Each structure stands twice: as C-alpha cells, then as structure tokens.
Amino acid sequence: MRLLIHLILFAIIAGLTHIVGIFLIPYLTQRDIYSRLEAGAPVNQLAAIDNADLKSFPFADTNLAVAVCRYDLTTGPVRLRVPLSETFLVLALAERRSGIYSSVSDRAATGGMLDVVVATAPQLDRIARLDDEEQAVEEIRVAAPGLKGLAILKVFIDRPSSREKAEALLRRAQCESESLPN
C-alpha cells in the first residue's frame, strides 16, 4: 500500500514538473522566432528579410516576401504605410510574450495604401480627441498592449516572376515614428 502511494505521488509530481517545464519554454528560450526577427530589424524602420534567411526559419513559406519593423512607442506612435500589392498583403503586429495581437490585410486599405497607426491606449485617446468629427478617419488605429513589439509585413508571391515586384513593394513601405499632436 505504501509503495502504491509513493508511485502515485511520484507520478503527480513528475506530471506537474513536465507541465510547468512546457509552459516555461517560451520564457527561457533565447532563439525563438520573435528574437530572430527582432535581431535583424532596426527600431522604427522596415527591414526586408532575405529569401535565403527566410528559408532558415522553421515552417517558413517561401512564397512570401517578408519585412519586419521593430517598433518602440515610448516617444510616440508608429505609422506603417504600405502600397497595395497585386496579390495578398498582410500586416501582423506581435509582442514577445503574447504573440500576434492584431493583423490587418490589404482589404482594409483606402486610397491605394494600407495606413496603420500603432500606439498605446493613452496615445490613441490623445489622437482621437484631435480628430475632426466631420471628416472620416482613413487610417487604421491599433492599440498596442505594450511599448515594444514587431510589425511583420507579408506579401504573397503567386509566381516566381512576381518576387521582384513584391520585394520592390516592401522597399517602398514605411515604418516611422511620429510625434503626438499638441
């Protein structure tokens, strides 16, 4: 009977240790996908990921042209402007621990340009107070849960000959810090 109780306790402790270990992996790893993307991206600037580098990422789709902007909202909001693509275009916003918290596709674009403002909730409140009530807001405003994160821009490449167009589109895209209006 005593041996059975010890075996049950051992199984419970081993199971709990295993579960805790699994949940701690994202916090302890040094080479996760977020860290690898963050390392190659300057702050508040868009940096294209080379296709050869993209192939080194696990589960990467080589039919995408990818660019990354590491943003920092401590000085103000960040505006991302991307011209429309002939194919599918998506902008994903991510944070280190929580992963992707928002995404916007080219379907939300107005005037031939995808225009997204990423800001903290207080910054967005300040921007909204200055809006003209009679004029429609044409930008997409996203509240970031924290001050730092990544904006990941992906353009679908439907045939090998369109890779150059997709990469040229990413070179024209912008990721810039803006000062808050007074």
Model confidence band, residue 181 (pLDDT cutoffs 50, 70, 90):
low
Please check the confidence at residue 138 and state whether its pLDDT lies above 90.
no
Please check the confidence at residue 45 and state whether its pLDDT lies above 80.
yes
The first and second tokens of residue 168, run together, are: 């040229």
Stretch 75-97: mean pLDDT: 88
Which of 34-38, 71-75, 82-86, 174-178 is least confident? Answer: 34-38
**Phi, psi for 119 (deg, rounded to 5):** -155, 165
Instruction: Assess whether 24 and 113 both reside in one domain.
Output: no
Instruction: Name the residue with tokens 């010890």.
Output: 6
Stretch 106-113: mean pLDDT: 80
**Between these two residues, 18 and 26, which has the higher pLDDT value?**
18
- Across all residues in the chain, what is the average pLDDT? 85
Work out how many domains the chain is built from and give that number: 2
Model confidence band, residue 120 (pLDDT cutoffs 50, 70, 90):
very high
CA geometry: angle 134, 76, 73, nearest 5 deg: 125
Please check the confidence at residue 180 and state whether its pLDDT lies above 70.
yes
- Distant-in-sequence contacts of 53-62, Cβ < 8 A, 24+ apart: 57/33, 58/33
- Round to whole Å and give the CA distance between 91 and 114: 9
- Round to whole Å and give the CA distance between 40 and 157: 22
Residue 32, pLDDT score: 67
Stretch 44-51: mean pLDDT: 82
| Structural domain contains residue 182 | no
Question: CB neighbours of 65 closer than 8 A, spacing ≥ 6?
Answer: 48, 51, 154, 155, 157, 163, 166, 167, 169, 170
Instruction: Assess whether 21 and 66 both reside in one domain.
Output: no
Please check the confidence at residue 137 and state whether its pLDDT lies above 90.
no
Instruction: Assess whether 49 and 7 both reside in one domain.
Output: no
Instruction: Assess whether 105 and 47 both reside in one domain.
Output: yes
Instruction: Assess whether 22 and 80 both reside in one domain.
Output: no
Instruction: Assess whether 93 and 6 both reside in one domain.
Output: no
Instruction: Assess whether 128 and 62 both reside in one domain.
Output: yes
DSSP state of 148: E
Instruction: Assess whether 15 and 39 both reside in one domain.
Output: no
Please check the confidence at residue 68 and state whether its pLDDT lies above 70.
yes
Instruction: Assess whether 104 and 141 both reside in one domain.
Output: yes
CATH number (domain holding residue 87)? 2.60.40
Q: Among 73, 43, 47, which Cα is nearest to 144's? A: 73
Residue 85, pLDDT score: 80
62 residue type, one letter: T
Please check the confidence at residue 35 and state whether its pLDDT lies above 80.
no
Residue 15, pLDDT score: 94
- % of residues, the chain, pLDDT over 90: 26
Domain boundaries, position 75: 33-177
